[in-house]
Amino acid sequence: MTRIEAVVNGKKVTKTVDDNRLLVTFLREDLGLTGTHVGCDTTQCGACVVNIDGDTVKSCTSLAAGANGCSITTIEGVAHGERLHRVQEAFHRHHALQCGYCTPGLIITAIDIIEKAQGPLDEATVRQELKGNLCRCTGYQNIVSAILDAAEKYAMSSVSKVA
């Protein structure tokens, strides 16, 4: 057993977990944050992607105990109360979710792609960066359009963070 202290979506969390507890299980079952999904469970599909200390990580292949001292953002932590995150809005506008199963991982990934972009994003870069996120509805065209749209609006705004 390992005692972990982490910040999840801005709130401090202290729990004791089994050493073999996966991070995705911890988020979903111990914290009730079921927005993060398990898709393939084999480190391929990206439905379980969360942001840990500023980097996107597949939570199905991370240990909960390893998150001690980390700051984690899941899909539940990106909106501002009732107001959707700008990237969520863009996904909504572009019909970038079909069944919605891969969407949480894609939103977390998209936010990170936009925040780390050095200069304007182009379609080829976005598609390259999305290699770790699979959409079984194959809705990539609209997903890419949504990310490019959100990136453009982000570039035009004066805020330093995607919000």
Partner 1 sequence: MNPFTLHRPSAIDLISAMLASSSDPKFLAGGMTLLPSMKLGLITPSDLIDLTSLPAFGEISNEGRRLSVGAGATHAAVANERRIRELCPALGRLAGKIGDRHVRNRGTIGGSLANNDPAADYPAAILALDATIHTDRREIGSSDFFRGIFETALDEHELITSIEFEAPERAAYAKFPHPASGYALAGVFVCRGDSYVRVAVTGVGSDGAFRLQELEGKLEAQFEASVVDTIDLSALEFFEDRHGSRAYRENLVRVMARQAIAEIAAVDGA
With the C-alpha atoms ordered 44, 22, 103, 75, is the resulting torsion angle positive or negative? Answer: negative
**H-state helical runs in the chain:** 23-25, 86-93, 103-116, 123-129, 140-156
CA nearest 133: which of 49, 60, 45?
Answer: 45
Contact call for residue 66 and partner 1 (CB under 8 A)? yes
Which pair of structure tokens corresponds to residue 60? Answer: 């199905």
Q: Could you tell me which stretch among 30-38, 65-73, 82-90, 138-146 binds partner 1 (CB under 8 A)? A: 65-73
Q: Which residue among 27, 33, 62, 147 contacts partner 1 (CB under 8 A)?
A: 62
Nearest approach in angstroms of CB 9 to partner 1 is 19
Q: Which residue among 132, 140, 152, 153 contacts partner 1 (CB under 8 A)?
A: 132
Q: Which residues bind partner 1 (CB under 8 A)?
A: 2, 18-20, 22, 41-43, 46, 49, 55-58, 61-63, 65-66, 68, 109, 129, 131-133
